[in-house]
Structure 1
Amino acid sequence: MTTSTPGGGSPLRSSSGIWLVAEREIGSKLRSKAFIISTVILMAIALAGILIGGFASKSGADDKTPVAVTAETSSVVSALPGVEVTEVADDAAAEALVRDEKVDAAVVSGTGPTGVTILALKDAPSSLVSGLSQAPEVQILEPATTNPLLRYFIALAFGLVFLMAASTFGGTIAQSVVEEKQTRVVELLLSAMPARTLLAGKVIGNTILAMAQILVLAAVATIGLIATGQNDVLTMLGTPIIWFAVFFLFGFVLLASLFAAAASMVSRQEDIGATTTPITMLIMAPYILVIVFNDNPLVLTIMSYVPFSAPVGMPMRLFVGEAQWWEPILSLAILLASCVAAIAIGAKIYENSLLRMGSRVKLTEALRG
């Protein structure tokens, strides 16, 4: 498929037109100092969060309570986590270490139910007391698959990355469409290529930028986890991050098509919000839901099959081990079908509204043409 360029020049192929528009979108964004600075800040925040969390967990693990023990109590205390054991000859030597403040407490033989006694100068370490206390047998019916705090931060990370990337690049597409309409540059562009070619170029260009940012964030996260020795967390996150990138790719194409279509219905920058607000709400919903309901299996399951929230919901379920092997495939198939439908509807609205200036085009009119 070819079209003539303005002034009677050589015809322009659709594929060439798509890449020309995509290169223009990418180049304009990369030349923007605001975009570069915001990207660097986002990377720095992500790396700082990982480093701080890793060092804090490591320092917490290394912070052990010094405890004096005798030969009779050594086996009991050594099995406790977070305890640094110093074995002495007898109870008197253990008591002497406590009085000299060389240890926080001492565990010696006793006549109570536990068979041991804790000696402390002023206050006994609560972790030591609870560790040596007799407790009833506990049976957990629904054990947590991950640390609740870690689960919350992973949910926050997935939701925030999706929100920031989708809203940033979706907003860029909307502003670009309206700017071209407002300056009437779109009339020159449409004389060189079809509207669908122009739309495809904008979507592809911004998708490349968004995916590049996601991949850089993934690389930063990997480096940070390795640097802080959080290899177990990295192992758990490997598959979910890959699926997040795949779901985000098609989810963003869906959203980008809708952003371009919504923006084509207005002719002024001030009116963008009137048509793009519903799409922005669709982007914010997964962010809010995954933070509030990250420990609710039912909500996460529903999110993982809804096209707008699947890029967040399904990777989260994979991280906590609540998804079967076939569920990401089924969810991706639903997302792909929704993506095709959104592109078709968005292209129709875009074609029918792009050259209509003045007041806002109604959705029914844009669909009818």
Structure 2
Amino acid sequence: MTSTSSTWRLVASREIGVKLRDKGFIISMIITVVLILAIPVVSSIISSHHDHDGVVVTDDKAAAVVKVAQQDLAARGSGDKIEVVRAADEAEAHRKLHDDDDMVYLHQKDGQWHLDGYDKTPSADGSSTRVMEAAVARAAVADNAEAAGADATAMTRGMSLQTGQVKASEGTSEAVGYMLAVVFSILFMMSAISYGMMIANSVVEEKQSRIVEILLTGVPARQLLIGKIVGNTVLAVGQLVIICGLGMLAVSFSSWSDVITVAMSWSVLWFVLFFLIGFVALASLYAAAGSMASRTEDLQSTAMPLMYLVMIIYFWVVMSMSNLDGLSARIGSYVPIASVVFMPLRMLGHRATWWEPIISIIITLGFTAFAVLVGERIYRRSILQTNGRVSFKNAWRHNESVA
């Protein structure tokens, strides 16, 4: 027989089991997984489609220029491709352009190279245009050197530009940090609100149907609350791990695979850890909000402050994501709940020293312990009050409570 002190495990198992058998929950999870897997892949396909340009040529000299461009792209490690499309003459070249307006026509006329589109001029800023321009320049130097009886290799020596950086890179680029700021803040907001309201609805439904009165005859209120918090925390963190894991897996198979770095992986792990601790605090407060409502209609007013809190943190991150080294982000790294998003982001790229996340976690743990105690007190003193919505003041001061 299960001891009274461990009945929270039964409650937690029941919470998890009910959700895993809920068709709506399962369908929404499947849709989320499909979207996560599809978005990077589809975006990669779309971007790769635009980066694969066909160049129509009518002679070997133009084909040789395109080959030089292909070699340049390969040397840079670029994912862009330029393909040679042969045409017998200019008329056929024009027909090929008509059939596919993504193609361009490379030809030489009166000693001048031309790169023509069908009904639009190729963009001068396009990567394909720039690499073709460089290839044409090399071909022109070779032709001019041959005409002058000089060595083309000697004439082109020192013409290339090698790019680099003075300071070695520490972490990922600002673009990756910005992307993770958006992803983390959205995941935090959606998970905190959806699972928080799930707990609150579960509590108020049991209270409204008076099932909780039957449950409390065999399960202490404290154990019932712990079970609900643990069960929903397992669901929330489990879904978060699946989303983050599948998201990184999908990105690794896309054209953006280079953004997956060790720093990014550690940042995701820290985000999950901070979310686990912070969500326990929110879950406790959402359970308390549910206990203060006597009907489902009352839940909007009792849970509204918590929803405002989550939204404020979300907008705080959005406004600060352009400068994660700024004062706003540094302060947010130590503010409980807000630190769930801010600290992992600041750790990305070594913006935070080794001791900062430790201090932040200690502060978050302290706040979580306080929130659990507050939520437990309000829950015990409100769960059996069915005479309308219970205010926070009355719930806090009410003397009668269940164990």
Alpha-carbon distance in 2 for matches of 1:252, 1:160: 15
Alpha-carbon distance in 1 for matches of 2:346, 2:43: 22
Alpha-carbon distance in 2 for matches of 1:33, 1:44: 16
Match of 1:357 among 368, 382, 386: 386
Please tell me whether residue 224 in structure 1 is matched to residue 250 in structure 2: yes
Give the counterpart letter for 1:13 in structure 2: T
Give the counterpart letter for 1:168 in structure 2: S
Match of 1:296 among 323, 328, 337: 323
Alpha-carbon distance in 2 for matches of 1:125, 1:234: 31
Structure 1 residues 55 and 312: CA distance shift in structure 2, 3 A? farther
Match of 2:223 among 194, 197, 214: 197
CA contact (8 A) 1:305 1:331 kept: yes
Which residue of structure 2 lines up, in the alignment, with residue 19 of structure 1? 9
Q: 284-293 or 46-55, which moves further after superposition?
A: 284-293
CA contact (8 A) 1:158 1:312 kept: yes
Question: How far does residue 160 in structure 1 lie from its aligned partner after superposition?
Answer: 1.8
Structure 1 residues 28 and 124: CA distance shift in structure 2, 3 A? closer
Give the counterpart letter for 2:271 in structure 1: F
Please tell me whether residue 42 in structure 1 is matched to residue 69 in structure 2: no
Residues 1-369 of structure 1: pairs in structure 2 closer than 5 A: 12-15=3-6, 17-59=7-49, 62-63=52-53, 78=72, 104=105, 119-121=114-116, 123=121, 125-126=123-124, 127=126, 128=129, 146=173, 148=175, 150-228=176-254, 230-235=256-261, 236-297=263-324, 298=326, 299-369=328-398
Alpha-carbon distance in 2 for matches of 1:186, 1:33: 24
Question: How far does residue 315 in structure 1 lie from its aligned partner after superposition?
Answer: 2.2
Structure 1 residues 360 and 291: CA distance shift in structure 2, 3 A? same
CA contact (8 A) 2:54 2:83 kept: no
CA contact (8 A) 1:66 1:84 kept: no
Q: TM-score, normalised by structure 2?
A: 0.71
Alpha-carbon distance in 2 for matches of 1:319, 1:209: 26
CA contact (8 A) 1:51 1:224 kept: yes
CA contact (8 A) 2:53 2:83 kept: no
CA offsets 1:111-139 (integer angstroms, 9 cap, x no match): xxxxxx86444746414469879xxxxxx
Question: How far does residue 244 in structure 1 lie from its aligned partner after superposition?
Answer: 1.1
Alpha-carbon distance in 2 for matches of 1:288, 1:64: 45
Three-state SS of the structure 1 residue aligned to 2:337 is coil
Three-state SS of the structure 2 residue aligned to 1:305 is coil
Three-state SS of the structure 2 residue aligned to 1:153 is helix
Give the counterpart letter for 2:16 in structure 1: I
Q: 56-65 or 39-48, which moves further after superposition?
A: 56-65
CA contact (8 A) 2:285 2:371 kept: yes
Structure 1 residues 104 and 362: CA distance shift in structure 2, 3 A? same
Q: 212-221 or 313-322, which moves further after superposition?
A: 313-322
Structure 1 residues 83 and 266: CA distance shift in structure 2, 3 A? closer
CA contact (8 A) 2:4 2:220 kept: no
Alpha-carbon distance in 1 for matches of 2:191, 2:306: 14
Unaligned 5+ segments in structure 2 are 85-92, 98-102, 138-164, 399-403
Give the counterpart letter for 1:160 in structure 2: I
Give the counterpart letter for 1:26 in structure 2: I
Q: Aligned residues, how many?
A: 338
Three-state SS of the structure 2 residue aligned to 1:228 is coil
CA contact (8 A) 1:78 1:85 kept: no
CA offsets 1:254-311 (integer angstroms, 9 cap, x no match): 1000000111112111000111011012222333333343212223323322212222
- Root mean square deviation, CA, Å: 3.9
Identity of counterpart residues, as a percentage? 36
